[in-house]
Copies of this chain bind each other. A is one copy, B any other.
Amino acid sequence: MREFWSLVRRDLLLARRQGGAATSVAIFFILTVTLFPLGVGPESALLGRIASGVIWVAALLATMLSLDRVYQSDLEDGSLDVIAMAPMPLELVALAKTLAHWLTTGLLLVVLSPLLGVLMQLDTAAFGPLVLAMALGTPALSLLGSIGAALTVSVRRGGVLLSLLVIPFYIPVLIFGVGAVDAAVDGISARPHLLILGAILLFSLVISPLASAAALRLNLE
């Protein structure tokens, strides 16, 4: 496990140094959401109705756009060869890198989501469920995204193929994430949505390391 945490620490250090990757994800998230009042018009009733959807779509996009960081640069400069030969299973490598990805993107999205709720005139009653849903949903996004990132890692400029692969898998997270917030807005319990999000998270936690490791193995050849 020492190697596992070393790898996580390394990826965090790299993210911090690489032009503040984490802050850029945060700013991308905020900017995408602020584009909407500009695009859709400022009526607060309309904004409030689409708030949960817009925030979640922006979270999906922000996660997806940062996915190529997970494996790609390590493959390109040969680091992935060296990591793959380290004395730990490739499944653990994938998990460590996914964890580091979540810590530098998803975690920030969780923290920032109330702020965006304010910007989008979201009902204050829904802030709690929004944060909770984000806390359960974003790790699932990182885990599912890791599979796509690993599959396309040796494909030059695979970024857009990556989004094509990943978006269908993101749809359930989007739907139940939005569902949790909308339930709270409508005054019903968000619990069922949150439970389903939890189930999706557990499910991704099981398949992601396996599928990512298998994908990495074939891409190293």
Q: Name A's B-contacting residues (CB within 8 A).
A: 18-19, 21, 24-25, 27-28, 31-32, 35-36, 38-41, 46, 49-50, 52-54, 56-57, 60-61, 65-66, 68-69, 73, 76, 155-161, 163-164, 167, 171, 174-175, 178, 182
A174 cross-chain contacts in B, Cβ below 8 A: 35, 38-39
A31 cross-chain contacts in B, Cβ below 8 A: 163-164, 167
Q: How many copies of this chain are found per oligomer?
A: 2
The CA-CA distance from A65 to B39 in the complex, in Å, is 19
Task: Known A157-B19, A174-B35; judge A164-B28 contact (CB<8 A).
Answer: yes
Q: Looking at the assembled complex, report how far the CB atom of A50 sits from the nearest CB atom of chain B, in whole angstroms.
A: 4
Task: Known A31-B164, A36-B57; judge A157-B73 contact (CB<8 A).
Answer: yes
A164 CB contact (under 8 Å) in B27, B36, B38: B27
Inter-subunit contact B53/A18 (CB<8 Å):
no
Q: Looking at the assembled complex, report how far the CB atom of A133 sits from the nearest CB atom of chain B, in whole angstroms.
A: 13
Task: Known A54-B39, A156-B18; judge A161-B24 contact (CB<8 A).
Answer: yes
Q: Looking at the assembled complex, report how far the CB atom of A55 sits from the nearest CB atom of chain B, in whole angstroms.
A: 9
The CA-CA distance from A36 to B167 in the complex, in Å, is 12
A39 cross-chain contacts in B, Cβ below 8 A: 50, 52-54, 56-57, 174, 178
Task: Known A46-B49, A49-B46; judge A160-B21 contact (CB<8 A).
Answer: yes
Q: Looking at the assembled complex, report how far the CB atom of A73 sits from the nearest CB atom of chain B, in whole angstroms.
A: 6
Task: Known A27-B164, A28-B164, A160-B65; judge A35-B19 contact (CB<8 A).
Answer: no
The CA-CA distance from A218 to B82 in the complex, in Å, is 33
